[in-house]
Amino acid sequence: MKHGFDLRTLIPKYLQWRRSQNKSQMTICTNRGHLEQFCRWFEERGISHPGHVTPKNIAAYCSFLIFYRKSDGGGLTTSTRIQRLSVIRMFYRWLLKQKFILDDPTGDIVLPRCSPQLPKSILTPKEVDRILQQPNIRRPVGIRDRALLETLYSTGMRRSELANLKTSDLKLSSGIVFVRRGKGRKDRVVPIGEIASQWLKRYLSDARPILNKGDVKEILFLSYQGKPLTPDRITGITRFYCQASGVQKSGACHIFRHSMATGMLENGADIRYIQEILGHVHLRTTQIYTHVSIRSLKEIHRQTHPFERE
């Protein structure tokens, strides 16, 4: 076991190794936050060396996460606890491999089971249209926002994928968009509809040249200051138009992703096709939409079943 190292000095070394594994900046930031909280919790209890952490300490930390309360009074979701414990377990496996510790105290961690979470809100096509009509398309920013919303709904992209989208990723004449380094650092190709393509063409010709004050050549969506839009800013833009439309459903970027997938499934798309568009590694992740679409199936059943119509 190597001496002279504590948890706080080892975290940056671990994150540097994660970068060498080609992990995204978002993953690195998330890992840092979870490990720093882990480090603070143990420092408050007088434990600073990773080799002094015992399985009993780890069990106590697991209990801490169960009863942890955020500033709004809410607890951590099961998926969040799984993520935090997974980060800690990977950290300790690295420590063991690098011989900073002799034994791994996280070996007995049992990750909680996480049931698939159904989307809280799904937009109808009419509600989507109301939201899409909100941007003021007489202004360059409004054209940008309309193109952004249309792209979100047409492709089902994640906000981080949209923020990273480059002008060279658009093949509008072929009706496709390249998503580079999506979740899991994987590339994929997704189709984009004609309406969204037309709005992107208008944005590229009429709005982006005006917004591009700093001569940004690559990133597609730019702010009023001419800088690339961040994922958080894209969320803010989307949420603003959702609220402005008067649609009484909570959500921002992901509500478009959920609504697109659910609508396609209800209209007869094969679930594996939807899996490919959304970039899900596992089919079971996509299958949550089959539970959502049962709502419309029940309504069709009520309206058309012979016994129900009597």
Catalytic hit among 32, 183, 188, 239: 183
Does residue 34 contact residue 83 with C-beta atoms inside 8 Å?
yes
Answer yes or no: 257 catalytic.
yes
How many whole angstroms from its chain centre is CA 65? 22
Dist. CA 37–CA 11, nearest whole Å: 11
Answer yes or no: 49 catalytic.
no
Dist. CA 198–CA 245, nearest whole Å: 22
Answer yes or no: 3 catalytic.
no
Catalytic hit among 158, 159, 208, 258: 158
Residue 260, token pair as written in the block: 């697109």
State the amino acid at position 168 in one-letter form.
Answer: S
Answer yes or no: 93 catalytic.
no
Dist. CA 183–CA 29, nearest whole Å: 15
Answer yes or no: 254 catalytic.
yes
Answer yes or no: 120 catalytic.
no
- The CB-side HSE value for 63 (13 A sphere, CA atoms) comes to 6
- The CB-side HSE value for 243 (13 A sphere, CA atoms) comes to 7
The residues annotated as belonging to the active site are 158, 183, 254, 257, 280, 289
